[in-house]
């Protein structure tokens, strides 16, 4: 079991979510986060061009069984990219970490079947 | 082309140099009581526009909150200017083109009414501004039907055209002293404060626009939930307060008829709100805040045409019927699957029609006696009046529907009205305004 955390652009949320659901991954957690990365966006504020310190991003967390990891990663890669195949800085990152256990609260069942 | 320009220039010159006709009422003294109430009403009706902005703004997703609020605010800018230039003249001038709309060169740019006092003792400026507020809120109401999926630029052009070619003629027909619906039957079609002019026209146009533009991405399979019902409730409250200016101000006086309209307004809003949550209680098992707010609006919309002629028990019943009918309309919408996002038609169209027709059965006897007196045959029944009301409703529905379709079709040839898919996904706020409504709020 793995925990996939993807940091993506806010505007790509609908696309990524719809693509994930299409491939059969519909148990996801979404939150709005902000952070610093390589991306520098310029925004207009009262006629001035400013570069905000912390850029809002979307964090998607997906717990998957090992055989679904690659499918999820490929789906996110495809749907989160902007500006054609080469992408652009600020498209985000995907982190994968091993998941020690997974417990369904309702039944108490553990392990891969609880995912 | 050249003669066209010449003609336009000649008209402009005429209207600038034209001697301002002496108004008979120029020496009428100002009735300070009536004027004070009309000034208050004017401010109250304007308050409804930010009220509507909040009501609609809370109902959309967080990525569209500012764009939706801007639909109402943009109307305050665009329509105010248009009203001053030509709207007032088209609405309240004397018949031109066979009564299609009005025109009065003194009203063009409001330059000939500087010292006018109306017969009611109210300065004409106050009346102009009061009526202008109605012109503002009507196109803003339509925005609820195509919320979350319209380009801001196209919206601005659409409401400008709609105001000129749909609102002004309708307003002229119903409220100008030589309008044909104003003079229909014994004592005219009853539209006290804008059931046909404002609510039916906005609701029907909204329905046409919602169907013409198509639904939002993912509708109806993806759940689209309100981002902030708190501001929706505050908006509904502001609308209720503002409606006292809308209805009680429409008497253009400060006296008995004002009090009658105010009472009817309060009672219909309350009875409709209660009815809505009772229906919900039976149908869904819970009374929702949004349901209460929807009931308030349904009642206020339905009593708008009726406020001047019904007694309190009539207002009570109109409120009840309005909620039942609007609730049904929304259930039907869900079955049919068209995307009237914020139920502009379900509330304003259906509520407006319900009010305009139902009021016939609750008209106070003194009004009917006056109508009988004015009728050549010496008698006037509620069935005669129902016919007049139905005709007025039919005219408003047909005219608003056809003209909206024509305007949308024409405008779509020039610019794309519906948002591009990428813009819709990113949200109106980011795509058209470059801003975000909230700080760090989870997406909904």
Q: What is the CATH number of the domain that holds B129?
A: 1.10.3430.10
Of B425, B434, B440, Cβ closest to residue A34: B440
Judged by CB atoms closer than 8 Å, whether chains meet at A10 and B425 is answered as no
On whether the CB atoms of residues B176 and B369 are closer than 8 A, the answer is no
In a domain, B175, yes or no: yes
Phi, psi of B95 (to 5 degrees): -50, 130
In a domain, B351, yes or no: yes
The span from the CA of B278 to the CA of B287, in Å, is 7
- Please count the other Cβ atoms lying within 10 Å of the Cβ belonging to residue B201: 33
Query: Measured between CB atoms, does B434 come within 8 Å of chain A?
Result: yes
In a domain, B40, yes or no: yes
Residue spans of alpha helices (H) in B60-188: 65-82, 88-92, 124-142, 152-162, 168-175
The span from the CA of B1 to the CA of B19, in Å, is 29
Record the tokens describing residue B388, joined without a space. 């007049």
Record the tokens describing residue B244, joined without a space. 């006292």
Total domains, chain B: 1
Regarding an ipTM greater than 0.85, the answer is no
What's the full length of chain B, in residues? Answer: 444
Q: Exposure of B5 by Cβ count < 10 A (0-12 exposed, 13-18 middle, 19+ buried)?
A: exposed
In a domain, B394, yes or no: yes
In a domain, B309, yes or no: yes
Candidates B64, B218, B426, partner chain A, best to mutate (most A CBs within 10 A): B426
The span from the CA of B5 to the CA of B12, in Å, is 10
Query: Minimal Cα–Cα distance from A71 to chain B, Å?
Result: 23
On whether the CB atoms of residues A82 and A71 are closer than 8 A, the answer is no
Judged by CB atoms closer than 8 Å, whether chains meet at A11 and B426 is answered as yes
| CA dist B273 → B159, B276, B291 (Å) | 30, 5, 8
Q: What is the CATH number of domain A2-114?
A: 3.30.70.120
* Least trusted range by pLDDT, from A27-36, B88-97, B275-284, B311-320: A27-36
Of B436, B441, B443, Cβ closest to residue A13: B443
The answer to whether residue B15 scores a pLDDT higher than 50 is no
Query: Measured between CB atoms, does B430 come within 8 Å of chain A?
Result: yes
Candidates A8, A9, A14, A45, partner chain B, best to mutate (most B CBs within 10 A): A14
CA-nearest residue of chain B to A47? B434
pLDDT digits (tens, 9 = 90+) for B381-416: 889 999 999 999 999 999 999 999 999 999 999 999
End-to-end CA distance of chain B: 53
In a domain, B5, yes or no: no
Stretch 200-229 of chain B: residues touching chain A, C-beta under 8 Å: 217-218
The span from the CA of B422 to the CA of B434, in Å, is 14
Record the tokens describing residue B145, joined without a space. 């039907």
Phi, psi of A5 (to 5 degrees): -115, 120
Judged by CB atoms closer than 8 Å, whether chains meet at B442 and A43 is answered as no
Query: Minimal Cα–Cα distance from A53 to chain B, Å?
Result: 14
In a domain, B22, yes or no: no
pLDDT digits (tens, 9 = 90+) for B189-244: 999 999 999 999 999 999 999 999 999 988 887 778 899 999 999 999 999 999 99
**What is the reported pLDDT for A42?**
72
Judged by CB atoms closer than 8 Å, whether chains meet at B443 and A44 is answered as no
Of A32, A43, A58, Cβ closest to residue B441: A32
Range of the domain at B242: 28-415
The pTM (predicted TM-score) of the whole model is 0.89
Positive or negative, the Cα torsion across B156, B157, B161, B162? negative
In a domain, B440, yes or no: no
The span from the CA of B229 to the CA of B234, in Å, is 9
pLDDT digits (tens, 9 = 90+) for B96-114: 998 899 999 999 999 999 9
């Amino acid at each position: 079991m793995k925990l996939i955390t993807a940091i993506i652009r806010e505007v790509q949320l609908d696309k990524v979510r719809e693509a994930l659901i299409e491939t059969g991954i519909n148990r996801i957690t979404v939150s709005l986060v902000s952070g610093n990365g390589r991306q520098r966006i310029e925004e207009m504020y009262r006629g001035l061009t400013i570069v905000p310190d912390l850029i809002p991003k979307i964090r998607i967390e997906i717990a998957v069984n090992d055989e679904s990891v690659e499918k999820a990663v490929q789906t996110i890669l495809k749907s989160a990219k902007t500006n054609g195949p080469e992408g652009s800085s600020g498209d985000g990152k995907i982190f994968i970490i091993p998941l020690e256990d997974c417990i369904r609260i309702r039944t108490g069942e553990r392990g891969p079947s609880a995912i | 082309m050249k003669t066209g320009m010449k003609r336009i220039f000649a008209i402009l010159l005429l209207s600038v140099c034209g001697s301002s006709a002496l108004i008979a009422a120029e020496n009428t003294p100002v009735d300070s009581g009536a004027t004070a109430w009309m000034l208050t009403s004017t401010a109250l009706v304007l308050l409804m526009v930010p009220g509507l902005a909040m009501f609609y703004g809370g109902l959309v997703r967080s990525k569209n909150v500012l764009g939706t609020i801007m639909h109402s605010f943009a109307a305050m800018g665009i329509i105010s200017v248009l009203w001053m230039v030509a709207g007032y003249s088209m609405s309240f001038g004397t018949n031109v083109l066979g009564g299609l709309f009005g025109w009065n060169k003194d009203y063009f740019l409001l330059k000939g009414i500087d010292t006018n006092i109306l017969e009611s003792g109210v300065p004409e400026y106050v009346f102009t501004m009061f009526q202008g507020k109605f012109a503002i809120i009507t196109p803003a109401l339509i925005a609820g039907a195509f919320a979350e999926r319209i380009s801001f630029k196209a919206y601005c052009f659409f409401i400008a055209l709609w105001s000129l070619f749909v609102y002004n003629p309708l307003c002229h027909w119903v409220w100008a002293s030589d309008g044909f619906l104003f003079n229909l039957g014994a004592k005219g079609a009853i539209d006290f404060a804008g059931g046909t002019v404002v609510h039916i026209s906005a609701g029907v146009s909204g329905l046409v626009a919602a169907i013409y533009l198509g639904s939002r991405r993912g509708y109806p399979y993806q759940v689209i939930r309100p981002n902030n019902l708190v501001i929706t409730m505050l908006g509904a409250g502001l609308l209720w307060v503002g409606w006292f200016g809308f209805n009680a101000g429409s008497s253009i006086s400060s006296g008995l008829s004002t009090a009658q309209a105010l009472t009817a307004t309060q009672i219909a809003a309350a009875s409709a709100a209660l009815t809505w949550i009772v229906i919900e209680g039976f149908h869904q098992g819970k009374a929702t805040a949004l349901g209460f707010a929807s009931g308030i609006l349904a009642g206020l919309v339905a009593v708008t045409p009726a406020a001047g002629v019904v007694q309190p028990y009539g207002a009570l019943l109109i409120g009840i019927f309005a909620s039942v009918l609007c609730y049904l309309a929304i259930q039907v919408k869900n079955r049919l699957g068209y995307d009237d996002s914020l139920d502009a038609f379900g509330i304003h169209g259906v509520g407006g029609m319900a009010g305009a027709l139902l009021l016939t059965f609750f008209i106070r006897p003194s009004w009917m006696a006056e109508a009988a007196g004015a009728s050549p045959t010496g008698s006037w029944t509620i069935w005669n009046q129902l016919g007049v009301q139905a005709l007025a409703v039919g005219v408003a529905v047909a005219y608003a529907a056809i003209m909206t379709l024509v305007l949308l079709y024409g405008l779509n040839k020039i610019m794309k009205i519906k948002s591009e898919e990428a813009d819709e996904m990113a949200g109106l706020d980011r795509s058209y305004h470059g801003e975000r409504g909230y700080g760090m709020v989870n997406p909904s």
